[in-house]
Amino acid sequence: MERAERRAHLLRCALEVFAEKGYHAASISDIISRAKVARGTFYLYFESKRTVFEQLLDEVIAAIQAKVRRIDPSRGTEGVLAQLEANVYGVFETLLAARSTARLLVSQAVGLDPAFDQKLLEFFTRLLELLERSLATGQQMHLVLPMDRRVASMAILGSIKEILYHVAVGTELPPGPAMVAELLRFHVRALFVPSIAELVQARGARGTR
């Protein structure tokens, strides 16, 4: 128990340091001095700097995957919309709650080295596949328009990542829920048949920025 706690403490400190300074600029010294732990102790819990980062990345990925569910078409139009909403909300909630985590994912983990890139790519590919399947389902239900599902999935994922990036760097944006609602309306218009799109559009507050 003692051991698990210390490990968690180290992970948290590492996360903060990585988020603040970036992977390379972050040094083991930064991490251990924040954790108030000796140098050797760090290596009792983690094999290497790379390893900690990898585990942090794994955690973020797991947290997000836990929030994203395959859309179940059996609950009707409203149900599908609600599930879509829940997915996007879940991801944002997870990452908005911990800006460090978001920053790690969208602005630190990219381009570090081929192995990290590979891991990230796999993760995003899994998300894309999930999205593609959901779009296929939506198309079968005639809720989603005909379109290239891969391109559309990437567009959706990219729009989410970009907003997270701006959240991470502190760009001024509408408050969390309003922003998510706005983004969802964007997606709905881009994806759904006009009848649904109009329904959702009508429901929303109109932004005027």
Partner DNA sequence: TATGAATGAGGTTTCATTCAT
Partner DNA sequence: GATGAATGAAACCTCATTCAT
Residues lying near a copy of itself in the complex (CB under 8 A) are found at 21-25, 103, 107-114, 117, 121, 125, 132, 145-152, 154-163, 165-166, 169, 171-174, 178-179, 182-183, 185-187, 189-191, 194, 197-198, 201, 206-209
Instruction: Check residue 114 for interaction with DNA (CB under 7 A).
Output: no
3-state secondary structure of 59: helix
Instruction: Check residue 43 for interaction with DNA (CB under 7 A).
Output: yes
From CA 151, how far away is CA 167, in angstroms rounded? 24
The site that binds DNA (CB under 7 A) totals a number of residues, namely: 20
Q: Could you say which of 41, 118, 125, 140 contacts DNA (CB under 7 A)?
A: 41
3-state secondary structure of 144: strand
Residue closer to a copy of itself, measured from CB, 8 or 110? 110
Q: How far is the CB of 115 from a copy of itself (least distance, A)?
A: 11
Q: Which does 17 bind (CB under 5 to 8 A by kind): a copy of itself, DNA, none?
A: none
Instruction: Check residue 49 for interaction with DNA (CB under 7 A).
Output: yes
From CA 94, how far away is CA 167, in angstroms rounded? 13
From CA 131, how far away is CA 153, in angstroms rounded? 6
Residue closer to a copy of itself, measured from CB, 9 or 94? 94
Residue closer to DNA, measured from CB, 30 or 93? 30
Pure H helices in the chain:
2-21, 28-35, 39-45, 49-67, 76-97, 99-103, 114-140, 149-169, 176-191, 194-203
Give Cα separations from 86 to 150, 155, 206 (angstroms): 21, 19, 21
Q: Could you say which of 16, 20, 22, 28 contacts DNA (CB under 7 A)?
A: 28
Q: Which does 77 bind (CB under 5 to 8 A by kind): DNA, a copy of itself, none?
A: none
Sequence-separated (6 or more) residues with CB below 8 Å from residue 186: 159
Instruction: Check residue 6 for interaction with DNA (CB under 7 A).
Output: yes
